[in-house]
Structure 1
């Protein structure tokens, strides 16, 4: 499955119990309650789908927009 900004936003929102439309592209997701355990689960899920992304890279900039760039997501 291809990565899109909306897909990343939706997966993050699901983990946080938020509305995807309310998840900003450029805010630190830790401020929204994304902890290391949830972040690790995202990294593992995405690697299982073939993404070349490590937990550390996601943790460096925990923002939807930054992750979209790392994953080569389309709009």
Structure 2
């Protein structure tokens, strides 16, 4: 998944625009609760990532998620 694809997926899950979210800001502060995280995991898996819910919960920031998912 490219960075652009990742950000497009995440734009569906955050409150507001993805461009307004700081890379190190907790995604929980911008509306990404556990249900949205599970939905994001499914979206990432559908695009070929083997990411798990637990991995995302441990560090819920765009920077951490991009490091794990973007190729």
Q: TM-score, normalised by structure 2?
A: 0.84
Counterpart-to-counterpart distance in 1, 2:22 and 2:7: 8
1:51 aligned onto 2:29: no
Shift of 1:64: 0.5
Shift of 1:12: 2.2
Q: TM-score, normalised by structure 1?
A: 0.80
Aligned to 1:42: 40
Gaps of 5+ in 2: none
The 8 Å contact of residues 26 and 65 in structure 1, kept in 2 or not, is answered as yes
- Listed one character per residue, the Cα deviations across residues 5-55 of structure 1 (whole Å, up to 9, x for unaligned) are x43333223222411210111111111121000000000111121101000
Deviating beyond 6 angstroms after TM superposition, the runs of 4 or more aligned structure 1 residues are: none
RMSD of aligned alpha carbons: 1.6
